[in-house]
Amino acid sequence: MPLFDTVAATPALLIDHDVLDRNIERMAMSARTRGVTLRPHAKTHKCPDIARLQIAAGAAGLTVATVSEAEVFADAGFGDLFVAYPLWVDAARGARLAALAERARVTAGIDSAEGARALAAHAGTGIDVLVEVDSGHHRTGVAPGHAGAVAAAAAEAGLTVAGVFTFPGHSYGPGRPGDAATDESAALRTAADSLLAAGIAPGILSGGSTPTAHLDTSATELRPGVYVFGDAQQLELGTITEAEVALTVLATVVSVRDGVVVLDAGSKSLGADRAPWATGYGRILGVPDARITALSEHHATVAWPSARGTRTGGPDVAPPGLGSRLRVVPNHVCTAVNLADELVVVRGCAVVDHWPVSARGCTI
Amino acid sequence: MPLFDTVAATPALLIDHDVLDRNIERMAMSARTRGVTLRPHAKTHKCPDIARLQIAAGAAGLTVATVSEAEVFADAGFGDLFVAYPLWVDAARGARLAALAERARVTAGIDSAEGARALAAHAGTGIDVLVEVDSGHHRTGVAPGHAGAVAAAAAEAGLTVAGVFTFPGHSYGPGRPGDAATDESAALRTAADSLLAAGIAPGILSGGSTPTAHLDTSATELRPGVYVFGDAQQLELGTITEAEVALTVLATVVSVRDGVVVLDAGSKSLGADRAPWATGYGRILGVPDARITALSEHHATVAWPSARGTRTGGPDVAPPGLGSRLRVVPNHVCTAVNLADELVVVRGCAVVDHWPVSARGCTI
């Protein structure tokens, strides 16, 4: 009888509800203990059912990446949403934001004076803003010392500046979370000083990626996303163990040859993310020495440990036969979830629910 | 006025209908001229509107990757579908295949005797099969000389063996299409001989990736997919020019600093595919020296050529300002299309239609 035989077809995204519960509670407790606000990033799960569990555990509100994600979560009844992105607001997006602000408290990111003026011009002044600063990831955000100038422009345009935010994305590398947390802390302090110098109270200092979320910084608010599910990146960074992996992709062995096993989950199910330091295109749950050496749209090519001759002490596991089912841990769970319409919720080996990925594809 | 200002929100997938028409006609003409059957792979577009144009130009039927893709195209009226994948057929998938076979001619791939027997046991013998052989990509498929043994097992199980197929995926590398086509040709000939030795007429010899589709091999049928749209991989392989790129992702500049431009199209719009030989995470249409150096879920970080100091002779283009719109060519168009619900069809600068990506997410 194949694994999870009540799941009719693979690939399927499975959520282990018990692990999910523990992940949500652990992060909530960590935030509570340190007295910081938790505003989880909903781009990871895109699922109101999971957001409700986060709020029930004490989260103050949700973070989202796009206006369309905010719309989905506002429709589902969530009343406090931060779009952590330096939005460029034209007339169409402004109208959507203004409509959103009538049914939820909406905060948006800005990283330029022009962006602030466009937001005020097209969405009105019912949207509060946080100024994005660059803490070392070098993506978006102004230099922390320039936050005051952007904040002043926003205030001049009539907007309420609620604080500053940063994403320490350079925490995503082996050995990097500690330094990234230090960078984040310094950037948020410098940005707060810059706002004060411009005569604006800094209020919220928002930070926190999953790798840095348990480390102390000057952040008053944390926005981790991946922690709910975990993924192979977090496993390989050492921020979690297999026991904390809540989402896996159930896959079937469709082809076998010479120690190589091919699964029916490819880049259209797992996503194609692969950091330079990753060991492969994901991991096989329970078989730590297996390596996903290649990924096509509907194929994962797995070098099985007993045939690789490069075992690193993991268990000796017989290669699975045709039709066997395995659970794959995607490298980056946020992009894997965005490929699915539904999550199959299990407790132990029993399917207990199906949750829609309501904000799947919400990129606009 | 921003580019394609009638498109309300970015990121959006644009299809240039004129370029699409030319791409479809060029491949159809190439197949016609050489007397080979064209069975385009619909996994690239997942769109019945585009499949209809391919059939109208002379394609004999469609290739799909999954049973659920076959179901979508059968629902849309397509009557000849080949699932080019070594399916593992259990009771649930077998019932779906049997139902499909009542409304379309359905052919499926196999690459093992066990797979053939499972197909016959659960789907019946109304599905013809093609034996997959490995021509050098080393993914799925048996060694060409073993095709006869798999075919004999399929025949023994009561299935009709219609021929053999291969995917020369190792054509995806600079300078490789020529050798890959030679490998494909040899593999198909060896497989045909292997079937003959087992007393089975080889019939269809199906091959062809987009990089090899215009090269002569022993294939009697070609299954290219990407050619309809082109993508950055094909550009960088030299198999197409920018004039043959039919699909782009319209994106907005949301942040600018020191010669770096950040766009609102990230891995959740472009896909995260990046071959080792790729110059970046996609290309900017009309700005050949721009480089997408980093990709997050909703951010593409672009090093602008005039600021990089590494220009290779491309035009000197002023960096775009905040709110400007650019067109991004994804690295791998098949995964980008699978992230979108709709394609915005343009002729010149006018939006002329919207086509649904009906088979988006059809992985099962």
CATH number at residue A334: 2.40.37.20
- Judge if B126 and B268 occupy the same domain: no
Q: Mean pLDDT across the stretch A290-307?
A: 93
Per-residue model confidence (pLDDT) at position A98: 98
pLDDT band at A307 (very low <50, low <70, confident <90, very high): low
Q: Which two tokens stand for residue B149?
A: 């043994």
Shortest alpha-carbon distance between residue A99 and chain B (Å):
16
Q: Is residue B316 predicted with pLDDT exceeding 70?
A: no
Q: Is A8 among the domain residues?
A: no
Half-sphere exposure (CA, 13 Å, Cβ side) for B60? 17
The neighbouring-strand residues paired with A221 are A37, A206
**B154 falls in which pLDDT band (50, 70, 90)?**
very high
Q: Report the C-alpha gap between A246 and A228 in whole angstroms.
A: 7
| Burial class of residue A230, CB neighbours in 10 A (0-12, 13-18, 19+) | buried
Q: Are A42 and A68 in contact (CB under 8 A)?
A: no
Same domain (yes/no): A112, A130: yes
Nearest to A202 by CA among A218, A184, A225: A218
pTM (predicted TM-score): 0.96
Give the per-residue pLDDT at A151: 98
Tell me what the pLDDT averaged over chain A comes to. Answer: 95
Indicate the angle between helix axes A177-197 and A147-156, nearest 10 degrees.
Answer: 50
Q: What is the CATH number of the domain that holds B205?
A: 3.20.20.10
pLDDT of residue B216: 82
A144 near B CB under 8 A: no
Rounded CA separation A329/A314 (Å): 17
The answer for residues whose C-beta is within 8 angstroms of residue A125's C-beta and 6 or more apart is A157, A158, A159, A160
Q: In whole angstroms, how far apart are CA A335 and each of A330, A340, B271?
A: 9, 9, 9
Same domain, B287 and B210: no
| Helix and strand numbers, DSSP H then E, in chain B | 11, 17
Q: What is the mean pLDDT of residues A289-316?
A: 80
Establish whether the linkage from the previous residue to B174 is cis, with ω within 30° of 0.
Answer: no
Q: Is residue B277 scored above 50 in pLDDT?
A: yes
Taking only residues 253 to 282 of chain A, the set having a beta carbon closer than 8 angstroms to any beta carbon of chain B reads: 253-257, 260, 262, 264-265, 267-269, 271-274
Q: The tokens of A126 are what?
A: 């019912």
Show Cβ contacts of residue B206 under 8 Å, excluding neighbours closer than 6 positions.
B39, B82, B84, B130, B163, B164, B165, B166, B219, B220, B221, B222, B223
Clarify whether residues A212 and A288 are in a common domain.
no
B272 and A274 in contact by Cβ < 8 A?
Answer: yes
Tell me the percentage of chain B whose pLDDT exceeds 70: 97
- Residues A48 and A186 both lie in one domain: yes
Bridge partners (DSSP) listed for residue A327: A250
Of A327, A286, A291, give the one whose Cα is nearest residue A309.
A291
Count how many domains chain B has.
Answer: 2
A206 and A71 together in one domain: yes
CB of A139 less than 8 A from some CB of B = yes
Contacting A residues, span 36-75, partner chain B, CB-CB under 8 Å: 43, 65-66
Question: What was the pLDDT predicted at A310?
Answer: 46
The verdict on residue B270 lying in a domain is yes
Q: Residue A327 CA to chain centroid, in angstroms?
A: 20
Helix (H, G, I), strand (E, B), or coil: what is residue A361? coil
**C-alpha to C-alpha distance for A72 and B113, rounded to whole angstroms:** 48
Q: What is the pLDDT of residue A311?
A: 47
pLDDT band at B256 (very low <50, low <70, confident <90, very high): very high
Shared domain for A196 and A286, answered yes or no, is no
Instruction: Tell me if B176 is assigned to some domain.
Output: yes
Chain-chain contact of A338 with B298 (C-beta, under 8 angstroms): no
Which residue among A260, A272, A340 places its CB closest to the CB of B271?
A: A272
CA angle B229, B230, B236 (to 5 degrees): 170
Nearest alpha-carbon partner for B251 in B44, B2, B20? B2
B221 and B239 in a single domain? The answer is no
- B207 and B97 in a single domain? The answer is yes
Distance CA A315, CA A54 (A): 35
Outline where chain B has alpha helix (H).
Answer: 17-34, 48-56, 67-75, 91-101, 113-123, 147-156, 177-197, 232-237, 267-270, 305-308, 333-337
Identify the closest residue of chain B to A331 by CA–CA distance.
B272
Last residue of a domain, one of A228, A248, A267: A228
- A92/B272 touch (CB, cutoff 8 Å), yes or no: no
Same domain, A347 and A247: yes
Domain assignment present for B355: no
Per-residue pLDDT tens for B332-358?
Answer: 999 999 999 999 999 999 999 999 999
Same domain, A170 and A294: no
> Does A29 lie at the interface with B, CB-CB under 8 angstroms?
no
What band does B310 get if pLDDT is binned at 50, 70 and 90?
A: very low
The answer to whether residue A309 scores a pLDDT higher than 60 is no
Compare CB distances from B272 to A10, A335, A340 and report the shortest one's residue: A335
Largest CA distance in chain A: 69
Q: Can you tell me whether residue A237 is helix, strand or coil?
A: helix
Residues of A in contact with B2 (CB under 8 A): 90
Closest listed residue to residue B347, CA positions, set B246, B229, B249 = B246
Structure tokens at A134: 């660059």
The residue out of B176, B200, B228 marking a domain boundary is B228
Residue type, B364: I
DSSP secondary structure letter of residue B227: G
Q: Does B150 touch chain A (CB under 8 A)?
A: no
**Chosen domain end from A228, A262, A284:** A228
Q: What are the DSSP calls for A284-334, one per residue?
A: ETT-TT-EEEEE-SS-EEEE-HHHHS---S----PPPPTT-EEEEE-S-HH
Which range has the worst mean pLDDT, A295-304, A308-317, B18-27, B50-59? Answer: A308-317
A with B: how many residue pairs have Cβ under 8 Å apart? 150
Classified as helix, coil or strand, A110 is strand
Domain coverage including residue B246:
234-331
**Would strands A342-347 and A350-356 be described as parallel, antiparallel, or unpaired?**
antiparallel
* Consecutive H or E run containing B357: none
My answer on whether A175 and A59 are in the same domain is yes
- Nearest-Cα distance to chain A for B33, in Å, is 31
pLDDT score, position A244: 98
Tokens representing A235? 């496993």
Determine, yes or no, domain membership for B276: yes
Q: Is residue A79 over pLDDT 90? A: yes
